Structure 1
Amino acid sequence: MFSAYNDIAYTIDQMHGIVDLNKYFSDDELDEYIEGYVQDGDILNNGKLKVFPVAKSTEILTINKIDFDIFAKATNVSSKDLSTIEGLVEVSQKYYEWTDSLTPKPNDGKAFFGRDAMANYILAGSMQLGHEIFKVKDGKMKLDYNEKVARKLWDNYYIPYIKGYFTASGVFRTDDIKTGNIIGYVGSSSSATYFPKTVTNSNDETYSIKMETLPCPQFKDSKNYAIQQGAGMAVMKTTKTRQQAAVEFLKWLTDAK
């Protein structure tokens, strides 16, 4: 048994073979788990459960509440304005313009936001706007590329980066939070454990901050889709005794108690 993401599990399955775990779990047992997480383990969409969920996450919007509250009070914005991607872009522009106004130097506003995974934005955003870019069936991929959707994704991602409303300079956006380069980011829910407790800005000033988490913004009036990701456990084909033992361990490991 080994821990793996779906792409690695697929490769190993092609080389050596991975056990279909559906044979070891009853329907009642599988009902105890989040349906979408279990479905994600059907890596070929053929009804065979090859990867069992043990470490899943989604995306959330995490903000530096201390600096956000100062900005919000000065500009009359609120966290409710961050519920949509369009609203997030508008708030980011206001933050850039507000921070620009605090100094005599023109066009030196600060970015409000950053995103850890561009691919997640494109995949989830396309689904929200009614187009699944990559459709996979029986291991074969079909591309559904819609120009209007691609333009909307561009306008709400690359344009704000170009104008300085969004930025990405550290390895992860939690790095940018720590240096004060941004005050909000979308990343994995598991990244919340890395959210810094202090900010040290370009003037070497250090101060404490607090974290606030919000739902990941979606396009206005769009369908409700979100990213799920993370590793799972797969069982190599071996003796029946070892396969059964591995499954028993998985049941124990993921038991509610």
Structure 2
Amino acid sequence: MKKFVGNKYITLGILVCLVLGALPGCTNNEKKKDPITLTIWHVYGGQTDSPLNDMIDEFNETVGAEEGIKLQVTVVSNTNNIHNAVLRAANKEPGAAELPDMFISYPKTILAMPDSNILVDYKDYFSEEELSAYIPSFLEEGTIDDRLVSFPLAKSTEIMFIDKTLFNRFSKETGAKIEDLNTWEGLFNLSTEYYRWTDKQTPDIEGDGKTFFVHDYHFNYFQVGTESMGEDFFKNGEIAYGKKFEKVWNPYAKAAIEGGIWLNEGYATEPLRTGNAVVSVASSASVLYYEDIVTYEDNRSEKIEVIAKPVPHFENGEKIVMQRGAGFCTVKSTPEKEQAAATFLKWLTEPENNVRFVTQVGYMPVTEESFDILPETLKNLEDPKYRSLYDAFVKTQNSYKFYTPPQLDTYLELETSMEKNLRSILRMTNKRWKRNEKDVDTLVTEALESLKIDMKK
């Protein structure tokens, strides 16, 4: 009888466990754990309008929900702001925010960190077979000291964007041709001509011509241009200033001193949005920020057509273009959080997901298979600006070599210093030119000597 009663209670207990599943030890299934939450800083769009935010929401609702992973975007900004914020946090400066679990970064940011060993080596979470699916040069750029610390999710290059509406107006009166923009020599000649043309439109106001061209990264122009001429831009961690550098400097500086090049701070999108420039060279991802309407300084607005072309090349130089595009870094924490970050990156770089993402932000995909399905996807792009961009991408890939900057400890310092100094020097030299102090060729030479001196300070 006792045995019967005992079995009865055991049976009832099992039934309760099976029905309620709430008592410890009743089954082998544990209570569902809280999701692993990862914070993210990135640069793709705005806080309320971001293609990557949309992809993250999709991940959270699908794979994230299944795997117990939740991604939380805490900052959407530009690369400069995130670069500065990362370094402040890494150096533990007073008032600096804590590093997120994941952040977008260029190699130059990682090289400037006091200790890049705080970052995860993705080789610990991706097999060799998995990594073999990615474009090798994209992985190489994110590898520092043999550790893959910046993982590619999208890559870009530099592209030339043109306000075709304003260019056509200039062309109609001067005979300028869009083909003149194929070479740097042609572009700089048009820059000087455009300044003179716009200056003549207000004969009662002297020296009020407008700039024609803006480059987002002057340092890239000199670096790639010098290399395309067959000369090393760097020597012993410094800028070499060789004979080919001077050939790259002279036409650029002349056009800038004569008013044809935008030398103010900020991104290249701004002068195009306000009609203060006609042509820009910038990251292909800038397509997100080029609008189809120009608002001039007198508050007039005009609908425009923006088209894209490969960057110019020198007449006697090789066709080389900068490889661009940041990668995701993951800060070391726990194996569970690090694995969660890898899970997200694997999902985001699956071919279909990756192509969906990159075609929204003006980037190239990062795996061989993604490139295979890209052409079919492009047929469905409705925005002519994006179709023009990807046509320029195809031409660039077919005709240009991609250039990856060397991993120098001095790279960031040289880039920052040159951007600041050359803009300042050429702005001052432009004022001297307007005062007719000296002929332009002399001013070009003196400006270069001033740059060399300031770069040593």
* 1:88-142: CA deviation from partner (whole Å, max 9, x where unpaired): 111212222333343434544322111111111122222212233337xxxxx63
- Decide which of 145, 152, 155 is 1:56's aligned counterpart: 155
What does 1:69-80 align with in structure 2 at a 5 Å threshold? 69-80=168-179
Give TM-score, length-normalised by structure 1: 0.84
Q: Which moved more, 1:214-223 or 1:31-40?
A: 31-40
Determine the structure 2 residue equivalent to 1:221: 316
Conserved? CA contact 1:12–1:18, under 8 Å: no
Corresponding position: 1:9 with 2:110: yes
**Which structure: greater helix fraction?**
2
Determine the structure 1 residue equivalent to 2:227: 127
Shift of 1:218: 1.9
* 1:151-177: CA deviation from partner (whole Å, max 9, x where unpaired): 123213222111011123462222212
Q: Which moved more, 1:222-231 or 1:113-122?
A: 222-231
Gaps of 5+ in 2: 1-100, 353-457
Corresponding position: 1:198 with 2:293: yes
Structure number with higher relative contact order (C-alpha < 8 Å, ≥ 6 residues apart): 1
- CA distance in structure 1 between the partners assigned to 2:116 and 2:308 by the alignment: 42
Shift of 1:85: 0.9
Give TM-score, length-normalised by structure 2: 0.50
- Decide which of 113, 119, 128 is 1:18's aligned counterpart: 119
- CA distance in structure 1 between the partners assigned to 2:216 and 2:192 by the alignment: 19
- Decide which of 282, 302, 312 is 1:187's aligned counterpart: 282
- Cα pair distance change 1:203/1:254, threshold 3 Å: same
Conserved? CA contact 2:231–2:242, under 8 Å: no
Determine the structure 2 residue equivalent to 1:138: none
- CA distance in structure 1 between the partners assigned to 2:188 and 2:153 by the alignment: 35
| Letter of the structure 1 residue corresponding to residue 156 of structure 2 | S
Determine the structure 2 residue equivalent to 1:40: 141
- Cα pair distance change 1:233/1:166, threshold 3 Å: same
Conserved? CA contact 1:112–1:183, under 8 Å: yes
**Which structure: greater strand fraction?**
1
| Residue-pair matches, total | 250
Determine the structure 1 residue equivalent to 2:167: 68
For the residue of structure 2 that corresponds to 1:227, the secondary structure is strand
What does 1:154-193 align with in structure 2 at a 5 Å threshold? 154-169=249-264, 171-193=266-288
| Letter of the structure 2 residue corresponding to residue 127 of structure 1 | E
- CA distance in structure 2 between the partners assigned to 1:231 and 1:178 by the alignment: 25
Corresponding position: 1:152 with 2:247: yes
Choose 1 or 2 for highest CA Rg. 2
- CA distance in structure 2 between the partners assigned to 1:11 and 1:179 by the alignment: 35
- CA distance in structure 2 between the partners assigned to 1:134 and 1:255 by the alignment: 37
Aligned Cα root-mean-square deviation (Å): 2.6
The alignment-based identity, stated in percent, is: 36
- Cα pair distance change 1:170/1:204, threshold 3 Å: farther
